[in-house]
C-alpha cells in the first residue's frame, strides 16, 4: 500500500512538470496566423526591444555619388603655332615646365620671313612716292594743268598700294614683328615666339631643326587657374542635377582631401552609355589638381518631400524589402515596399505605404520580428 502511494505521487508530479514546460514553450513561441502575419507575446516584444511608430512626411536630402576627370575649358588651353611656317631654330621647353605671359618660348627662322619684311619695305617706299605724286597731281588738276584721267589713275595706284602696305603690316604683326621699327638695316632672319598666357607646357610637338607648316601645333599650353570638373551622370539622375548645386570631390587615393565645386553646365547630349557630362567649376585653384586627373564626387541633390521611416524599420528578405505593419497590439504583418535614398539613419519609402498617416509599424528592431517569423515552425 505504501508503494502504491509513492507511484501515484510520482505520476502526479510528472504531469505537473510537463504542463509547466508546455506553458513556458507556448510563451516563448510566436504564433503565426499566416505566412505574412506573426503574433508575438508581450514578453517577446519587450525582450526584443521592439518599438512601433508612424512613418513621417519630411524633407529628404540625398547624395549622388559620381566620378569624372579634371578638365580645362577651351579658353584656358592654347595651341601655339607659327602662322608663316618655317624652321624651329631653338626652344628650351619641356612638358610640365612653367611659362609666363610674354616669355620667349621658341625662335623660328625662314626665308619667307625675310621676303615678307622686304615686301613691306618696298610697299612702304612706293606708298611714300605715290603720296607725293598724288598730292602733285591733285594740285595740277585743281588748276586744270593736268587732266582728270591722269589724276584718277595716280589716285587709284596710290590707294591700291596703301591696301598692299596695310595687309603686309598685318602679316608682320601676326608673326610678331613690329613694322614701326622695321628699316632696310634691321631686316631679321629669325623671330621669337612668346607665350600668350601664364601656365605650364602640356605638350611639345617639335624638335630643333624641324620644318613646320602654318597649321602645325608646336606647343600646347594650359592655364591652370580655371580648371573644371567634368562628371559623368547617368540619364536617370540628370533631372536631379541643377546649375548652382554644390559638390565635393576627392581623390580616389585620398578621400579625406576634398575640393569644393559648383555645377555650371548640364550637357544635353547622351553618350552610348546613356550618360551626360556635368561641368563643374572649382571654387578655388588647387595646385594638386592636374588636367586628366580622376576624381570621385558627391553631389548634394535638392531636398524633396518624402515618406520616411527609420532605417532600422526596413528589413531585406530574399530580393525584396519589407516593413512590419502593426495590426493589433501584438500582431504584425510583413508588407513589401520600395525604398529610395537613405541618409543619416532615415530611409525614403517610395511605394508600399499608401495610408502612411494611419499606419503604425515596427520602427526599431524589425529584424527581431523577421527572425521570430522565420522560426515559427521550430
Tell me: the pLDDT tens digits for 313-359? 999 998 899 999 999 999 999 999 998 878 778 888 888 888 888 89
Same domain, 97 and 173: yes
Residue 26: pLDDT band by 50, 70, 90 thresholds? very low
Sequence-separated (6 or more) residues with CB below 8 Å from residue 347? 308, 309, 310, 311, 313, 314, 339, 340, 341
Q: How many whole angstroms from its chain centre is CA 176?
A: 39
Residue that terminates a domain, selected from 274, 302, 330: 302
Same domain, 211 and 114: yes
Residue that terminates a domain, selected from 302, 335, 362: 302
Least trusted range by pLDDT, from 83-87, 97-101, 245-249, 340-344: 340-344
Same domain, 114 and 93: yes
Same domain, 196 and 86: yes
CATH number at residue 298: 2.40.30.170
Same domain, 163 and 203: yes
Residue 338 lies inside a defined structural domain of this protein? yes
Give the range of the structural domain holding residue 356, as residue numbers without chain letter.
28-60+305-374
Same domain, 321 and 291: no
Same domain, 47 and 106: no
Mean per-residue pLDDT for 199-216? 93
Residue 297 lies inside a defined structural domain of this protein? yes
Same domain, 40 and 86: no
Residue 6 lies inside a defined structural domain of this protein? no
Euclidean distance between CA atoms 206 and 88, whole angstroms: 8
E-assigned strand segments in 104-186: 104-109
Residue 8 lies inside a defined structural domain of this protein? no
Mean per-residue pLDDT for 168-175? 90
Same domain, 271 and 348: no
DSSP letter assigned to residue 316: E
pLDDT at 101 over 80: yes
* Burial zone of 70 (CB within 10 Å; 0-12 exposed, 13-18 middle, 19+ buried): buried
Host H or E run for residue 333: strand 331-343
Helix axes 148-175, 111-142, angle to 10 degrees: 150
Euclidean distance between CA atoms 182 and 188, whole angstroms: 9
Grid coordinates representing 96 are 610640365
DSSP letter assigned to residue 226: G
Residue 11 lies inside a defined structural domain of this protein? no
Same domain, 211 and 250: no
3-state secondary structure 239-304: HHCCCCCEEEEEECCEEEEEEEEEEEEECCCCCCCCEEEEEEEECCCCCCCCCCCEEEEEEECCCE
Same domain, 209 and 137: yes
Residue 263 lies inside a defined structural domain of this protein? yes
Residue 19: pLDDT band by 50, 70, 90 thresholds? very low
20 conformational bin, left if phi > 0, alpha if psi -120 to 50, beta if neither: alpha
Residue 241 lies inside a defined structural domain of this protein? yes
- Share above pLDDT 90 across residues of the chain, in percent, rounded to a whole number: 43
Residue that terminates a domain, selected from 302, 336, 364: 302
320, β-bridge pairs:
317
Residue 9 lies inside a defined structural domain of this protein? no
pLDDT at 206 over 90: yes
CATH number at residue 314: 2.40.420.20
What is the tally of structural domains in the chain? 3
Same domain, 288 and 309: no
Amino acid at each position: 500500500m505504501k508503494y502504491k502511494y509513492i507511484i501515484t505521487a510520482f505520476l502526479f508530479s510528472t504531469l505537473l512538470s510537463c504542463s509547466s514546460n508546455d506553458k513556458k514553450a507556448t510563451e516563448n513561441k510566436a504564433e503565426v496566423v499566416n505566412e505574412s502575419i506573426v503574433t508575438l507575446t508581450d514578453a517577446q516584444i519587450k525582450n526584443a526591444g521592439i518599438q512601433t511608430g508612424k512613418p513621417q512626411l519630411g524633407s529628404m536630402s540625398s547624395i549622388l555619388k559620381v566620378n569624372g576627370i579634371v578638365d580645362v575649358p577651351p579658353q584656358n588651353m592654347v595651341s601655339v603655332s607659327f602662322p608663316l611656317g618655317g624652321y624651329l631654330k631653338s626652344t628650351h621647353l619641356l612638358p610640365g615646365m612653367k611659362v609666363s605671359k610674354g616669355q620667349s618660348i621658341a625662335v623660328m627662322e625662314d626665308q619667307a620671313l625675310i621676303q615678307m619684311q622686304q615686301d613691306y619695305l618696298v610697299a612702304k617706299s612706293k606708298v611714300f612716292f605715290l603720296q607725293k605724286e598724288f598730292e602733285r597731281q591733285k594740285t595740277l588738276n585743281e588748276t586744270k594743268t593736268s587732266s582728270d584721267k591722269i589724276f584718277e589713275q595716280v589716285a587709284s595706284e596710290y590707294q591700291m598700294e596703301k591696301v598692299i602696305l596695310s595687309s603686309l603690316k598685318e602679316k608682320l604683326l601676326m608673326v610678331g614683328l613690329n613694322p614701326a621699327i622695321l628699316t632696310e638695316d634691321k631686316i631679321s632672319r629669325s623671330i621669337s615666339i612668346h607665350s600668350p598666357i601664364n601656365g605650364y607646357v602640356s605638350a611639345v610637338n617639335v624638335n630643333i631643326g624641324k620644318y613646320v607648316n602654318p597649321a602645325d601645333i608646336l606647343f600646347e599650353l594650359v592655364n591652370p587657374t580655371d580648371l573644371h570638373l567634368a562628371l559623368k551622370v547617368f540619364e536617370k539622375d540628370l533631372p536631379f542635377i541643377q546649375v548652382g548645386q554644390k559638390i565635393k570631390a576627392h581623390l580616389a587615393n585620398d578621400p579625406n582631401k576634398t575640393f569644393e565645386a559648383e555645377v555650371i553646365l548640364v550637357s544635353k547630349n547622351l553618350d552610348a552609355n546613356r550618360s551626360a557630362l556635368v561641368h563643374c567649376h572649382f571654387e578655388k585653384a588647387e595646385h594638386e589638381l592636374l588636367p586628366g586627373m580622376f576624381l570621385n564626387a558627391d553631389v548634394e541633390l535638392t531636398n524633396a518631400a518624402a515618406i520616411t521611416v527609420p532605417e532600422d524599420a526596413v528589413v531585406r528578405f530574399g530580393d525584396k524589402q519589407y516593413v512590419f505593419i502593426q495590426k493589433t497590439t501584438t500582431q504584425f504583418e510583413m508588407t513589401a515596399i520600395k525604398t529610395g535614398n537613405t541618409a543619416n539613419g532615415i530611409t525614403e519609402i517610395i511605394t508600399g505605404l499608401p495610408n502612411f498617416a494611419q499606419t503604425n509599424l515596427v520602427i526599431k528592431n524589425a529584424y527581431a520580428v523577421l527572425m521570430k517569423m522565420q522560426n515559427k515552425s521550430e
